[in-house]
Structure 1
Amino acid sequence: MAKYQNWIESEGILKIEGWARDGLTNEQIAGNMGISRETLNQWSKKYPDISDALKKGKEITDRKVENALLNKALGFTKTIRKAFKCKDVVYDNGKRISEKERIEYADEEVYIPPDTTAQIFWLKNRKPEQWRDKRDIEHSGEIGGVVIVDDIPKPDTG
């Protein structure tokens, strides 16, 4: 059986999609498959199932990253599970006779404020005309009042 046949069956397609979803590059995926990146590119062109698995897996990861970036840009509330050390102390006539420690857990809601860097990144990519650092400005017509002089005598250095 040819090597590609293992990868166009459902189990192989599932692995490829999973690796893409985990954020692996095509080169890393090819390495996991035991082939070169060029071979993976050829197989992607020849076998739509492989191409679709790569696209689908990467799209899922891209969406997760986009959502995480958006949350970071806007701020969000998150529930965090915290551990607390508690002591049980037993006294008898004012004298400590035993002490036991235990760990208890409690959920706490924490507000993560908006992140300026995430906001800038989002805006520069989503609205580049308004937010990019470098703007292209076209000028038509003449610039009046400017005279370029290139015949200024050089000082005698001798």
Structure 2
Amino acid sequence: MAKGKYEEWLTADGLLKLEAWARDGLTDEQIAHNMGVSTATLYNYKRDHIEILEALKRGKEVVDIEVENALLKRAKGYKYTEVTKELITNKETGEKELVVTKEVIKEVLPDVTAQIFWLKNRKPEWRDKQEMYMNLNATDTFDDILSQLGGKGLEE
């Protein structure tokens, strides 16, 4: 009896490969292509085999955290040292070697766009569309709902 294609992805090596592709930032479409299956088939594998779903989730989690950290770093600004090296010929031996000729501390200023993006995604009050949370239940009348929104009811 022929073995189903999904079974190779349930092995330790298969799951590790899936996790690595997700960690490398590949989309589900790209991962499906690497597996030799359609995207719909990959979605079926994820639905039917929790091991595949969790391997992909673990891999994506790692890269998501790395991107979050990079965005935060860019939003806040940072300093780094730029090192310049030159190829110098050693006069005694005639060998060429890379030698540090200059080190400069550079500063990347905080990025306003990154700050806005961060705040809109992390703080509801910064979002373009404010969410309104009301204390409503299934028995509320139209007038009750309007009054909570600050409007006038039909009876007025």
TM-score (norm 1): 0.71
C-alpha displacement of 1:102: 6.3
Q: Which residue of 2 aligns with 1:97?
A: none
Deviations 1:88-110 (A, max 9, x none): 99xxxxxxxxxxx8642255432
Between Structure 1 and Structure 2, which shows a larger proportion of helix residues? 2
Q: Which residue of 2 aligns with 1:47?
A: 49
Query: Is residue 14 from structure 1 mapped to residue 9 from structure 2 by the alignment?
Result: no
Identical counterparts, % of pairs: 46
Q: Relative to 1, partners in 2 of residues 1:88 and 1:11: Cα closer, same or farther, differing over 3 Å?
A: closer
Q: Higher relative contact order by CA 8 Å / sep ≥ 6: 1 or 2?
A: 1
Deviations 1:114-154 (A, max 9, x none): 1111001101111132x223447854239xxxxxxxxxxxx
Query: Is residue 120 from structure 1 mapped to residue 120 from structure 2 by the alignment?
Result: no
CA distance in 1, matches of 2:12, 2:89: 54
The residue type paired with residue 55 of structure 1 is K
Deviations 1:36-77 (A, max 9, x none): 111111111221110111100001010000000000001112
CA distance in 1, matches of 2:61, 2:131: 32
Query: Is residue 133 from structure 1 mapped to residue 128 from structure 2 by the alignment?
Result: yes
Runs of 5+ in structure 2 lacking a partner? 133-148
**Aligned 8 A contact 2:19 2:56 in 1:** yes
Alignment of 1:1-158 (within 5 A): 1-84=3-86, 103-105=98-100, 107-129=103-125, 131-135=126-130, 138-141=149-152
CA distance in 1, matches of 2:109, 2:131: 34
Secondary structure of the structure 2 residue equivalent to 1:50? helix
Name the larger-Rg structure: 1
**Aligned 8 A contact 2:87 2:98 in 1:** yes
Runs of 5+ in structure 1 lacking a partner? 90-100, 143-158
Question: Structure 1 residues 41-50 or 132-141, which shifts more?
Answer: 132-141
Q: Relative to 1, partners in 2 of residues 1:86 and 1:42: Cα closer, same or farther, differing over 3 Å?
A: same
The residue type paired with residue 113 of structure 2 is T
Between Structure 1 and Structure 2, which shows a larger proportion of strand residues? 1
Count of residues in Structure 1 that have an aligned counterpart in Structure 2: 131
CA distance in 1, matches of 2:131, 2:48: 42
